[in-house]
Structure formats: C-alpha cells, structure tokens
Amino acid sequence: MDKKEIFESVSNMETQIGHLYQQLGELKQHLAEILEENHYLKLENEHLRRRLDVTTDKEKNNEKVKKGTTTRVSAQGRTLDIGEGYDNLARLYQEGFHICNLHFGSLRKEGDCLFCLSFLNKK
C-alpha cells in the first residue's frame, strides 16, 4: 500500500465514523422522546387508577341514593341545572386533566387552562 491508498482508507473510515455518530445522535434523541412519553403515560395511568378507585368507592357508597341534579344561580340571577356530567368534568379538571375541546383528556402541565376555566364558568 502506498501513502495515497492509506490516506484514502483513513479518510473513508473517518466518513463512516461520522455517519455512525450521526445515527447514534438520532437514536439517542428518539430514545429520549420515548422515555419522556413513557413518563407521562405512567403519570396518566396513576391518575386514572386513583380516579377509578375513588369512583368505585363512591359508587359503592351511593348505590342506594338516587342521583339527581343540582341547581346553581348564575350571575344574571337565573338558575341553571347542573347535572352529573358537569360535576364529572369539574372533578377531571381538579385531577389535572384538560376538559376543553383543544386538549381534552390530556394532562395539564402548566397550571390552569383558560379554555377549560371558561368552559366551567359558562353563563
């Protein structure tokens, strides 16, 4: 082998190492995304299990009680019928989930959501 062939061989290896390094970086990024998604899914699963436990306990306690609607007075003095659905949405929001049409069912990561709050406070 002469000097030119050795230089080309080393240059070729350097290019291949560069491609491998790039692939390794992409794989690392993909792994980070998967780990983050896994973390959020574990949190959501934990919330759902707690909610299921609470709901099951409440259903056992309320089997004999008839479920009705409650009334609430609006800002204009009108009474609004607020049923079980509204209560469920309010509870979901308190547990940290979105109830707005933009992000329904996903975890609230950064405090209160103005869309959810406006939905809860409709007049």
Alpha helices in the chain (DSSP H): 3-61, 84-94, 114-120
pLDDT of residue 94: 87
Interatomic CA distance for residues 107 and 47, integer angstroms: 10
Percent of the chain's residues with pLDDT above 70 = 83
| Rounded mean pLDDT, 5-28 | 95
Nearest to 100 by CA among 81, 85, 84, 114: 114
Q: Is residue 97 within 8 Å of 89, Cβ to Cβ? A: no
Q: How confident is the model at residue 82 (pLDDT cuts 50, 70, 90)?
A: low
The whole-number pLDDT of residue 78 equals 46
- CB neighbourhood size of 113 (10 A): 19
